[in-house]
Amino acid sequence: MATADYMLEVKDLHATIGEESAITQILKGINLSVKAGEVHAIMGPNGSGKSTLSKVIAGHPDYTVSKGVVLLNGENILELEADERSRKGIFLGFQYPVEIPGVNNAEFLRMAYNQKRKAEGKEEADPLDFEEILDARMKILDMDDRYKERAINEGFSGGEKKRNEILQMAILDPALAILDETDSGLDVDALKIVAGGINRLRGPGKAIVLITHYQRLLDYVQPDVVHVLSGGKIVQTGDKELALEVEKKGYDWLVK
Amino acid sequence: MTETAILNKPRFMREEPRPAITPAQEAAIPLWIAEGPAALADIRAAAFNALRKTGLPHSGSEDFTFIRVGEFLPHLGPPAESAPERSGDRSPAAAEIESQLVAEAAEAYLVLIDGTYHPELSRPGSGFRISTLSRAELAAEARAALALIASQETDAVASLAMIFSRDPLVIQVEAGSVPGSPLLLLHFHTGSGVRSDSLIIYHGAKLSEAVLLVRHSTLADSATSANAVATGSMENVQTVALLDEGASLKFLEAGASGSGESTLIRDIHFRKLAARLERNSRLLAVSAHTGSRLTRNSFSVDLAGEGAEAEINGATVLTGNRQSHNFIRIRHLVPHCVSRQLFKSVAADQSRSSVDGTIYVAKHAQQTNAYQLINNLMLSDEARADSKPQLLIHADDVKCSHGSTSGKLDPAQQFYLESRGLPPAQARALLTIAFIAEVLGKADKKGFRAVLDRALLDTLKNRLPAAAKGVSHG
């Protein structure tokens, strides 16, 4: 079956938000196929449905899928809860990571890591072993020890929050990472570090979907395929030259 | 404007005739004062005058909006002198004291039984001058401040504590002194079916810095009399903190713990911290409770010197049909003071909590910075949480904010955790514990923090699904 070649397959995906009298159709028939080993970039104007697509794939309860399927390695995941999807290997890097006062960052990472290990039938990591793993990842991302003491994202700058997302990704080592505007709010130095973290995840068994407004990120993380999403549909697909073109000409020529 | 003028009742208060104190009190109190130590007479008389002015609480009392006054009114008569199990008849065994100690203050603790200080059971540590009010050499200014607090008291129950506390414990820290370790106050309550009144006075002299840790427990084999079982007991504990210029006090209090789970269902706890802060002094209070049949935590803080700062925090976890009510009055009397309040309650089952907090800013208290936040987390549709945040501002150049939220867990936070692979039950447990841990984290003494965690978080973990067992906290 051809399907198995793809890590992620989104077929004719329609999704809405809201209830009864106030239903808004946001996704209007998305088709997207990502092979293992590939990096796809999704660009598009504000309000085109990019964040919605990422949340629907991750299992956000606010959205209703009215039509279509999402397959991960050939398995339909739309019936699964968000946590089950995560343990299957889906990671969503949030555009706006929430602050969770009172929940220690390192402690949370260990709990998430151990849930993943449990799902894989492995033993939970003891705190010391986990600390080693965490320290190594934090070093790569140039994060200092204070991150461990702090509550999740609490009082973090925009750039710190994004770095923390990449740290979580590095710890969970997902099969499919969907990064929603992980590059916005970063200065060039931070961008290089974050891009380095993303590139480390690249590999034969992994797929990455980058949602971005800016071509700049794609200088550091070279995409295999670039899509333009507009009005809830993918209106153009190309290689990295498409991103350059969009950067130069805007979206108007693609959206009539 | 004089300070007395400021004290006039806010305009919104109903001007209805207040019930007087009972004839029994009217007769017994002057006698009690006359027969007591002369050194206590002025404070007791000031408190008595305040009590007569205020009268006993009634159903229309602004100060008891969320409490059924009838629940505790029967306990407000003169203390029963003849009750057989009065203070002293039952002392905590060494093991009982041991069980209440915390790492930071293993060598510095004071034992009080129904409010009476027992030096023979205590180890005062170093840096604290310990005495009782009849013998204490309290500086004239501190004594005047104490008398002022007594005379201005508008809470009848607090006035009763000032009148009837036997010989109040006085803790003093000398000017410039910074005791090496916190001092732990261990309140043991015999729960003998009557009301016990306690007054503790803390005086921090200029530039002193100290930490007071406070624990309450009910003695194991007490509260067995028919009277105690029928009516429950009432613990009435008031702490007065007088902070001189540049002094700093951390006041960390854990609610009832120890033996008597069954007594908590019966008993009434009234606790009050009244503080007066002079120039550049600082007060941090953290009070954590799991409630009782009726618990009322009251804070009354006067920012009386420029540059003074008060931070008042409360954490409550309630299950069953327990109640806990917080009542806060912060008065900015002079310019350039800062106050912050954070009160968080988790209410499960049919429990009830309330926070009634007012920030008052006097006309000349410009550049005041005051902040108040009340968050209630409801774990059950039958639980009830009331909030009444109020600002009464008479100055025109101030920064004051207040807010109140009541609700369930934040779905965005829950989704975030679940998107990282945490099962919903574990995510909910983590967020519930985090909700309350934000306040507990302000109690930055490790051993004492552990006491609070055990009291509050274990209560929660027992309520939450098994998933919570894997949840620890930082």
ipTM, two decimals, is: 0.96
What's the order of all strands across the beta sheet hosting A90-93? Answer: A90-93, A176-180, A207-211, A39-43, A225-230, A233-238
Burial of A150 (0-12, 13-18, 19+ CB in 10 A): middle
CA atoms within 13 A on the CB side of B200: 28
Q: Where exactly are the structural domains of chain A?
A: 2-249
- DSSP codes, A226-255: EEEEETTEEEEEE-HHHHHHHHHH-STTT-
Instruction: Name, in order, each residue with C-beta under 8 angstroms of B462's C-beta and a sequence gap of 6 or more.
Output: none
Interchain proximity B436–A112, CB inside 8 Å: no
When computed from its CA atoms, the radius of gyration of chain A, rounded to whole angstroms, is 18
Instruction: Name, in order, each residue with C-beta under 8 angstroms of A55's C-beta and a sequence gap of 6 or more.
Output: A62, A63, A92
Q: C-alpha angle B223/B229/B234, rounded to 5°?
A: 65
Q: CA end-to-end span of chain B, whole Å?
A: 48
Instruction: Name, in order, each residue with C-beta under 8 angstroms of B130's C-beta and a sequence gap of 6 or more.
Output: B110, B117, B119, B122, B124, B169, B170, B171, B172
Reduced to 3 states (helix: H, G, I; strand: E, B; else coil), residue A12 is strand
Indicate the residue of B410, B420, B472 with minimum beta-carbon distance to A107.
Answer: B472
The string of pLDDT tens digits covering residues B270-318 is 999 999 999 999 999 999 999 999 999 999 999 999 999 999 999 999 9
d(CA B356, CA B437): 21
Nearest CA to CA, how far is B413 from chain A (Å)?
6
The string of pLDDT tens digits covering residues B33-79 is 999 999 999 999 999 999 999 999 988 888 888 999 888 888 888 77
The string of pLDDT tens digits covering residues B306-356 is 999 999 999 999 988 999 999 999 999 999 999 999 999 999 999 999 999
Q: What percentage of chain B reaches a pLDDT higher than 90?
A: 65
CATH architecture type of domain A2-249: 3-Layer(aba) Sandwich (3.40)
**Interface list for chain A against chain B, based on CB atoms closer than 8 Å:** 58-62, 81-83, 85-87, 91-92, 94, 97-98, 100-104, 106-108, 111-112, 115-116, 119, 149, 151-152, 168, 172
Please report, for residues A94, A119, B74, B216, B290, the alpha-carbon distance to residue B229 in angstroms, rounded to integers and kept in the order given.
Answer: 56, 52, 15, 20, 21
Tokens representing B19 are 């019930």
Question: Closest-CA residue in chain A for B409?
Answer: A100
Q: C-alpha angle A164/A167/A173, rounded to 5°?
A: 145
Tokens representing A248 are 């130069």
Question: For residues B336 and B399, is the Cβ–Cβ distance under 8 A?
Answer: no
Q: Taking CB atoms and an 8 Å cutoff, what residues of chain B touch A119? A: 421
Q: Which helix (H) or strand (E) holds B229?
A: helix B226-231
Chain centroid to CA B276? 15
Instruction: Name, in order, each residue with C-beta under 8 angstroms of B447's C-beta and a sequence gap of 6 or more.
Output: B102, B103, B104, B105
d(CA B115, CA B305): 30
Interchain proximity B415–A61, CB inside 8 Å: yes
How would you classify the pairing of strands A63-72 and A6-17? antiparallel
d(CA B114, CA B79): 12
Q: Residue B231 has what pLDDT?
A: 67
Tokens representing B420 are 């990282």
The closest alpha carbon to B218, from B246, B255, B185, B249, belongs to B255
Q: Taking CB atoms and an 8 Å cutoff, what residues of chain A touch B433? A: 102
More confident residue, B225 or A244: A244
The string of pLDDT tens digits covering residues B406-453 is 999 999 999 999 999 999 988 988 999 889 988 998 998 889 998 888
Q: What percentage of chain B reaches a pLDDT higher than 70?
A: 87
pTM: 0.79
The residue count of chain B comes to 474
- DSSP codes, B212-224: EEEEEEE-TT-S-
Q: Flag whether pLDDT at B18 surpasses 70.
A: no
Cross-strand bridge partners of residue A208: A39, A177
Q: Residue B6 has what pLDDT?
A: 44
Interchain proximity B473–A104, CB inside 8 Å: yes
Cross-strand bridge partners of residue B344: B315, B375
Q: Residue B81 has what pLDDT?
A: 56
Question: Closest-CA residue in chain A for B441?
Answer: A102
The string of pLDDT tens digits covering residues A161-194 is 999 999 999 999 999 999 999 998 889 998 999 9
Burial of A97 (0-12, 13-18, 19+ CB in 10 A): buried
